[in-house]
Structure 1
Amino acid sequence: MGRDKRNETGKEHFTKMVRSTMETPAWRALSPVAQALYPWLKLEWRGPQNNNNGKIRLSVRQAADLLGINMKTAARGFHDLQAKGFLSVTEPARLGVGGDAKSPGFEITEIELPQAEKNGGRKLYKEWREGGDYLVHKAAMHNPRGTNGKTKPRPQNGNSTVVKFGTSQ
């Protein structure tokens, strides 16, 4: 009997890590978490025929699960990749009307954008120098005015309106 190709789950998916990229000062300045996160981001790229660079989406929660780390640590990995020029945010994260969230859209600067001319990508990390980090786009705060949308700050210890009674001796 021959193999039933309809039951195959798909071909192996791989990504290429380029040695010249990994020998740059920016790569060496990355945290180990950011270095581990980068191949996972590159695996989200669909290749030159279906180029989705600039619309690559990987949430902090997904990255934390893939790497087996805390979400705050994964977020620091994303920030480190942005600061060193490996990633650029093209679309901010947002929360839809129905409550469905959408993670930010990323551009991997090593790979060219679909609408760009064939130049091999912007490669911002090659221009990075010690102390010259790029701008990091962080997700917007969802509750900028305080707890539950209240505009007044909550009373803290010592400034409440509670009257304390005591007995005199």
Structure 2
Amino acid sequence: MKYFLYTLEHIYTDESHTACKLLGFFDDLEKLEQVKSFASELSGFKNYPKGFVITKYEVDKRHWEYGFNSVVGEIGRDYLTEGDIIDETYLSVQELGLESVFSVSHSYTIHRYLDDERMIGVFSSKEKAEQAVEELKTKEGFILHPDDFDISELDLNDLLWKSGF
């Protein structure tokens, strides 16, 4: 069985750059909307009210199947930017009764002001997250930075940016 969760991000462009902030993972759209409403009142977020983006993510899917040979310079995924194709065969991660998920990313510093970061995926267990990391450590690009993976356990339905920006 395949499962999905909702992701809330905030993306904005000002005169100097584009920034993307992960606000959280959610198993319920109503809970997400409540958090989004709260966040929209925080400093920074309220200046860019159209910057909130809701997507569905497939859980336990590694979004980087291969290595890399170029710099992303921001959070990236190596497939269609529209996101995962979630149809009626997917169930909400809510069915699993999870309280948290494990986010996996890979980031290394290119120079003082630029990191190369890739979002690898969101996993239902630490073991699945660790397995994804081990499989990628031998791939092009990742092999040069094997210690730069991050596995973070994040509570579902929780705002990650509580004070704005």
Same fold (TM over 0.5): no
Q: Which has the larger radius of gyration?
A: 1
Structure (1/2) with the larger strand percentage:
2
Query: TM (normalized to structure 2)?
Result: 0.24
